[in-house]
Structure 1
Amino acid sequence: MGDSLFTFAIPWISYKLTQSSIVMGSMYAVSVLPIVLFGPLAGSLVDRWERKKLMIFTDISRALLVALIPLLHFTGQLQLWALYAISFVLTILSLMFDVSTVAIIPALAPKQLTRANASYQLTNQIAELAGPLLAGALIISIGGFHSLWLDAVSFAGTLIVLILMPSFNKPKSRTSLSQIFKDIGEGFRWLIHSKINLSFSFQAMIGNFGYSAAFGVLMFYLLNTLHLNAQQSSLNYTLLGFGGVVGSILAVPLENHFPRGKLIPVLLGIGSAGFVFASISQFWLAPGIAFFAVTVCNTAWNTIVTSVRQETIPSDMIGRVLGFSRVLTRLAMPLGAMTGAALSEWTDPRAVFAVAAAAKVLEVTIALITPIRKL
């Protein structure tokens, strides 16, 4: 819930500071760029350090960084570069936390991976469903900056859970720079020789370009084109979270009734139709409806793909392989965000949704011509 507060508040704050879609798009791009630059390094550390302690460290660090934004605003020292810098570091820490989470799930539920991943997705999506509604109400009542104090406090809940959990892996020998580079090389070689995992990575890379183009300027589109207020904007964002809840609930029964190889392209095709709807409709809730359809399918797709990765990647290499995989999957996100921002400035903003729909069609094509079809 705290993360969804941050996701809603940061574009709102940047828009109110600058009134620029370029700044909003670049803010989203900067929050993704660290994954491209430091993904392999973060993956190596996840494999070599004790994962519980690493998650506790990243949890506390993120709480302090989020609290720094309203603190700087309160003292009158907040500048745009500080938002960029804080978003940059937060992304690195979140990457390490998220990869660690994926790595420990097989130890918790080795025989029920899809169900475990779906349950984890469900709890996250329920929080994301409530978060935008709360964020909209908080921005109206106390302002965007003060709402971030609640995000900072929310990390205490995660910290309590982590403290109560057991340790999942023993730290390896002392980490040296040469060993880290060796780990990175091993992760890269394993990924490029795994056709199924490499196919997923390229597929997600193209899909993320389109999604980032649309999501990176969503707030600008709602405020500047549709002229919505904070509550209406938050309702559109809430539909994203609701779609995630539905997708996480559907993932297990869908996988039980349909082969993965047939299910994946169908899910992606439905997502493409959602973006097409947003590109042709001016209804104030159309972006939310479109992203609802996309998020349903993306969440179900991500749950299934995560299970495949956990089944095929060795436990002691999952950090390194996922680190490199996320470089590929996130590589197009900054470009997508900036492309969406440019299109919003130069032409009809609805063209961004058409670009996102085309990217989904390419995802379907990849699913049909690669080893994904044999799952």
Structure 2
Amino acid sequence: MKEGDMIMTTLTKGLSGLAFFRAYPSYTRYWIANTISRIGDSIDSLAIMWMVLELTGSTLLMGTVMVCNMLPNILLGPFAGVLADRLNRKRLMIISDIARGLLVTVLAFLFMTDHLAVWMIFVVTALTSVFETAQQPARMAVRPSLVRTEDLITSNSMHSFGENAAQMIGLACAGAIIATLGIGGALLIDFLTFVISAFLISSIKIPSPTASDSQGSVLTVAQFFKDLGEGLNYVRSTRIIVICVILACLTNFFFGPINVLLPVFVKVNLNLDVTGLSQALLVQTVFMLLSSLMVGYIVRRIGERWALRSGLLLIAGGYALMYFAKSILAVIACISILGLGVPVASAGLHTIIQRNTPADKMGRVSAVMSTLVLAALPLSTAAAGYLGEVMPIPTLFGLLGLLLFICILLLTSNKTFRSRAVLGAIDQISTNEPYPQTDTEM
């Protein structure tokens, strides 16, 4: 049976579960590649943090490594979106995987031979982040092209499940891997995940997006910035996308500080050690996994707009309820509410963006959104660090959660957001039909 045959009988009702994966072999290989790569990323992040700690013992330098990893995403994200819409997306993903794999291998070799200096970690981390930044818009643009429009919801829910499962598996295994094989061995395992990911992506059939007027022309500097401007103008002129971007930025701004505040809250307010924090975060991940499995059904029942709104309200509500948390069980209950909301909001957000963005602009639109959302994080983290010194952390949790709750209600009460006309708009732009598929030349 051909890849498209199984879905031709379900034009109006989306697939789910194993039937979805059987119907879309190319998406399945993409999903496996992304999940394996994310497992490697989780192992890699802990290994590099441990490496810096072992070499220097400095928390300041550990923070510097995080900055080196974050800056390329913020500074280069929109430019990477242009490349994702201009260049061969499949080739871009494979090259990025191979480059990142080689970089972590170099880092492992230098560490195991005692030739590693701290500045080398910063350089390799920054370069690895550059290639990841180049790859991300291509991955985000490819995903909706591998399934039919009615299966975007399942595609996004499965993607969310894979990401959460990969993070949990990676973090759960990282400690044992580092203890058994050492930091160098952990980095070499990350290299293997990149190789597997590149191999799987090379076997994927990726439909070519509908060409814009500029595609096929020589990419000069002037044309590059013209393409970038087109992407920015499309985001700015499409009101539903503007609302989604603002919602995502505000959520990241208000919710981001929890990573800084929660450890302090657990230690200072609850008088617990890192074990209590680990338990809370593990429960959050479990609830995110459970929510990811249910999100396809939820979104089909209430629609992507209300899924986005409901998921964000769960996040804000769980956040605000932290004000009343007086025990680790109460913290776990609040974290569980957050964990339920994140996949639902994420699936709703991505489905709305995908339905309202032409295939040939998907890379630029997703890159602009990712850059703006990520840029909100260091701003909010710095503000939270200051506010945490001048007010009780439970009060700060309650205040940030309440402000986020109000912003969500205001933005999702907007006429544009409530209008049914915003749904399915992609059908007027692109049929989003992945069959018959034509594999782009490598």
Q: TM-score range by the shorter chain?
A: 0.7 to 0.9
Contact 1:46 1:96 in 2 (8 A): yes
Distance in 2, Cα, partners of 1:310 & 1:202: 16
Q: CA deviation at 1:146?
A: 4.4
Contact 1:236 1:287 in 2 (8 A): yes
Q: CA deviation at 1:337?
A: 3.1
Paired residue for 2:248, among 198, 204, 209? 204
In structure 1, what is the equivalent of residue 300 of structure 2? 256
Distance in 1, Cα, partners of 2:263 & 2:293: 27
In structure 2, what is the equivalent of residue 100 of structure 1? 138
| Alpha-carbon spacing, 1:61–1:98, altered in 2? closer, same or farther (3 Å) | same
Point out the more displaced range, 215-224 or 72-81. Answer: 215-224
State the superposition RMSD in angstroms: 3.3
Contact 1:209 1:333 in 2 (8 A): yes
- Normalising by the residue count of structure 1, what TM-score does the alignment of the two structures yield? 0.84
* Counterpart check, 1:366 vs 2:411: yes
In structure 2, what is the equivalent of residue 169 of structure 1? 208
Q: CA deviation at 1:55?
A: 0.4
| Alpha-carbon spacing, 1:212–1:15, altered in 2? closer, same or farther (3 Å) | farther
In structure 2, what is the equivalent of residue 5 of structure 1? 43
Tell me, what secondary structure is at the counterpart of 1:32? helix
Letter in 1 for 2:82: S
Q: CA deviation at 1:95?
A: 3.0
In structure 1, what is the equivalent of residue 86 of structure 2? 48
Distance in 2, Cα, partners of 1:44 & 1:13: 35
> Across the two proteins, how many residue pairs are aligned to each other?
372
Distance in 2, Cα, partners of 1:216 & 1:278: 14
Distance in 2, Cα, partners of 1:167 & 1:139: 37
Distance in 1, Cα, partners of 2:267 & 2:118: 20
Tell me, what secondary structure is at the counterpart of 1:165? coil
Q: CA deviation at 1:7?
A: 4.0
Contact 2:73 2:129 in 1 (8 A): yes
| Alpha-carbon spacing, 1:341–1:348, altered in 2? closer, same or farther (3 Å) | same
| Alpha-carbon spacing, 1:107–1:254, altered in 2? closer, same or farther (3 Å) | same
Distance in 2, Cα, partners of 1:150 & 1:240: 26
Contact 1:210 1:357 in 2 (8 A): yes
Distance in 2, Cα, partners of 1:145 & 1:289: 38
| 1:212-291 correspondence to structure 2 within 5 Å | 212-215=256-259, 226-228=272-274, 235-278=279-322, 280-281=324-325, 283=327, 290-291=334-335
Distance in 2, Cα, partners of 1:282 & 1:23: 33
- Taking only the aligned residue pairs, the percentage that are identical comes to 22
Paired residue for 1:311, among 324, 347, 355? 355
Point out the more displaced range, 162-171 or 96-105. Answer: 162-171
| Alpha-carbon spacing, 1:308–1:48, altered in 2? closer, same or farther (3 Å) | same
Distance in 2, Cα, partners of 1:124 & 1:173: 36
Alignment gaps of 5+ in structure 1: none
Contact 1:42 1:95 in 2 (8 A): yes
**Greater radius of gyration (CA):** 2
Distance in 2, Cα, partners of 1:113 & 1:175: 31
Residues 301-347 of structure 1 show CA distances to partners (whole Å, capped at 9, x for unaligned) of 11121111111111111111222222222221122233345556777
Alignment gaps of 5+ in structure 2: 1-38, 210-214, 421-442
Q: CA deviation at 1:33?
A: 2.7
Contact 1:135 1:234 in 2 (8 A): no
Q: CA deviation at 1:291?
A: 4.2
Distance in 1, Cα, partners of 2:53 & 2:234: 42
Q: CA deviation at 1:221?
A: 6.9
* Counterpart check, 1:333 vs 2:377: yes
- Normalising by the residue count of structure 2, what TM-score does the alignment of the two structures yield? 0.73
Contact 1:51 1:169 in 2 (8 A): no
